[in-house]
Amino acid sequence: MEEHDIICTGCPKGCRVTVTVEKDEITDIKGFECPTGKEYAINEYKNPTRILPTTVRVKEGEFPLVPVKTAKPIPKSLLLEAMKVIAEKEVIAPIKIGDTVIENILDTSVNIVATRNIEKK
């Protein structure tokens, strides 16, 4: 039997949830104060995902970098590999908020999108 402590970020309360696991199966969940906390803990144990915010280099822009993020969460296990792909990318200004900078990163069906406008210099 193993216990995993998870801090829920599903709402502002930040409940400390304990997930008890036997043979990779969840047998008990304690500490959540709402249904969101329980679901968050299950997902965080089984398949943790994250939104990845970072930057991409810009050519001919008013700024050398544009902030970007994943349009949806991607598996936590892919974050480092995704950062390597993103680090190789360079875009040409102008860029608008919401523009897709990288399509379908790492075959996740998730795009990397710009989160700021960058004008051409």
The pLDDT score that the predictor gives to residue 111 is: 98
Strand boundaries in 1-121, DSSP class E: 2-7, 16-22, 25-30, 49-50, 53-59, 65-70, 74-75, 90-92, 100-102, 112-114
Which CATH number does the domain housing residue 70 bear?
3.10.530.10
| Tens digits of residue pLDDT in 82-119 | 999 999 999 999 999 999 999 999 999 999 999 999 99
Distance, C-alpha 91 to centroid of its chain:
21
The pLDDT score that the predictor gives to residue 84 is: 98
Look up the domain containing 83 and give its range.
53-114
| Tens digits of residue pLDDT in 13-44 | 999 999 999 998 999 999 999 999 999 999 99
The pLDDT score that the predictor gives to residue 77 is: 97
pTM score of the predicted model:
0.85
- The answer on 65 and 41 residing in a single domain is no
Give the strand order in the sheet containing 65-70.
90-92, 53-59, 65-70, 112-114, 100-102
Domain contains 120:
no
Domain contains 121:
no
Tokens of 109: 């069906």
Q: How far apart are the first and last CA of the chain?
A: 60
